[in-house]
A and B are shown apart, each in its own frame.
Chain A
């Protein structure tokens, strides 16, 4: 269990210079659907270095590569595509500002997600005050998932989103990182600042709640 602290969003300048986190955790290859092809992390690192030196084209490449998954995560967290795009834009602007201090850390993507996760958490605060309104599904893609041949059940994304919206933020966050983003617990710890056992518990509770809400 790594002992470094998660970088807090508010003062990235003070983020510890972590260089020894297991990079293998980034290369999720066993499930290519949501995972990140290996080798992308290396390319990200090169692009991030170039962008840190002021290369806007390299930065545009980083945006192209990560924008979709970031929007997807934020949209699933917030229940609104519009909010998600705003949060992701804010996230990338912060990344651009902090890039001159970018020091490889543990890789570009965990760093990006650390910021994104925090932006989503801050974004939820005002929403939570709106009398716990039901999450509307405004603008989220409604394409059915690609048909699969195995025995796994097919979930309706809309029903799933509605069920997710009823979960506590921490559980939704952990569930999405684990099962939508296909991350391992070490990486999730690094991104969220929560311990592995706490994250496992959140995912477990989220699964239990979703199973109940999605039961036919």
Chain B
């Protein structure tokens, strides 16, 4: 024996009853909502929103062309603001004005730094340090550590060209035997050259 097929209304009522059954609201889920809402800021005044907008850091996408335009504008403004030499002592103001375009340039092209490994085979040395334009040629700034007969150090270097040499036993500057030499070395010394790639 088969029942008569259900009408839509009968089906709907029975299905609705079955679908509603059960407890659906977990206290933890409700608490999570209130916690999420608490994190939302209270509705703010227009002034507060404006301040928030101004002070929130955000990434800025800038085409190189627009970057150049902006540097040109900053440079133009700096040139206009530059005091006449006769009017005031230019010493204090001029360098500040001159640095403005450069600062803009630096922020638009972030410096790339790479960890660079230096090694020198010197089994008889008692100490080896590294000097270069990156540490102002300070022989004490960057000591190498001895591993068997080889001396090692890793330092972060900005992308670009660097001149350097090793200082063995606190006196002798030794160019890197594995690197090209700088053409016009100061003081008759021959430094090594290193090009740190951008990518």
Hey, which bits of chain A sit against chain B, CB under 8 A? Answer: 31, 33-34, 54, 56, 59-60, 63-64, 67-69, 71-72, 75-76, 85, 88-89, 92-93, 96-97, 100, 140-146, 148, 152-157, 160-161, 164, 175-176, 178-180, 182, 203-204, 207, 210-211
A152 with B33: CB separation less than 8 A:
no
Contacting residue for A56 out of B3, B16, B38, CB 8 A: B38
A71 x B25 contact (CB < 8 A): yes
- Partner pick for B13 among A76, A96, A97, A179, CB 8 A cutoff: A179
Determine whether the beta carbon of A203 is less than 8 Å from that of B8.
Answer: yes
Q: Is A154 a contact of B34 with CB atoms below 8 Å?
A: no
**With A100-B43, A143-B23: A89-B14 Cβ-Cβ less than 8 Å:** no
Q: A59-B37, A211-B11 are in contact. Are A72 and B20 (CB under 8 A)?
A: yes
Q: Please tell me if the beta carbons of A64 and B19 are within 8 angstroms of each other in the complex.
A: no
CA distance A72 to B19 in the complex (A): 8
Contact residues in A for B17 (Cβ distance below 8 Å): 33-34, 145-146, 148, 152, 155
Q: Determine the residue in chain B with the shortest Cβ distance to A85.
A: B29
B22 touches A157 (CB 8 A): yes
Q: How far is the CA of A31 from the CA of B13 in the complex (A)?
A: 10
Q: Is the interface of A mostly helix, strand, loop or mixed?
A: helix
Task: Map CB proximity to A onto B4-37 as digits: 1 under 8 Å, 0 otherwise.
Answer: 0110101111111111111111100110111011
B40 within 8 A of A: yes
A164 contact set on B, CB distance < 8 A: 19
B109 in the interface, Cβ–Cβ < 8 Å? no
CB of A165 to closest CB in B, whole Å: 12
Rounded to whole angstroms, the CA-CA distance of A88 and B30 in the bound complex is: 9
Structural contact, B37 and A96, CB atoms closer than 8 A = yes
Shortest Cβ distance from A9 into chain B, in angstroms?
17
Q: Which residue of chain A has the shortest Cβ distance to B28 in the bound complex?
A: A85
Hey, which bits of chain B sit against chain A, CB under 8 A?
3, 5-6, 8, 10-26, 29-30, 32-34, 36-38, 40, 42-43
CB distance from B177 to the nearest CB of A (A): 58
List the A residue with the shortest CB-CB distance to B36: A93
CB–CB A160/B18 < 8 A: yes
List of B residues within 8 angstroms of A63 by Cβ: 30, 33-34
Chain B residues in 8 Å Cβ range of A180 = 15-16, 19-20
Residues on A with C-beta less than 8 A from B13 are 31, 152, 179
Known pairs A71-B25, A148-B17, A161-B19. 11 more at Cβ < 8 A?
Answer: A33-B17, A64-B25, A67-B33, A71-B24, A96-B40, A145-B20, A146-B17, A152-B13, A155-B14, A157-B18, A204-B8
CA distance A63 to B30 in the complex (A): 7
Query: Does A54 lie within 8 Å of B43, measured CB to CB?
Result: yes
Whether B18 pairs with A68 at a CB distance below 8 angstroms is no
B24, A75: Cβ atoms closer than 8 Å = yes
B159 to chain A, nearest CB (A): 40
**Chain B residues with CB under 8 A of A210:** 11, 15
Please indicate the chain B residues that have their CB under 8 angstroms from the CB of A178 in the complex: 12
* Contact status B23-A152, CB under 8 Å: no
A204 to B13, CA, bound (A): 14
Across the interface, do B16 and A141 meet the contact criterion of CB distance under 8 Å? no
Which residues of chain A have C-beta atoms less than 8 A from B29's C-beta?
Answer: 67, 71, 85, 88-89
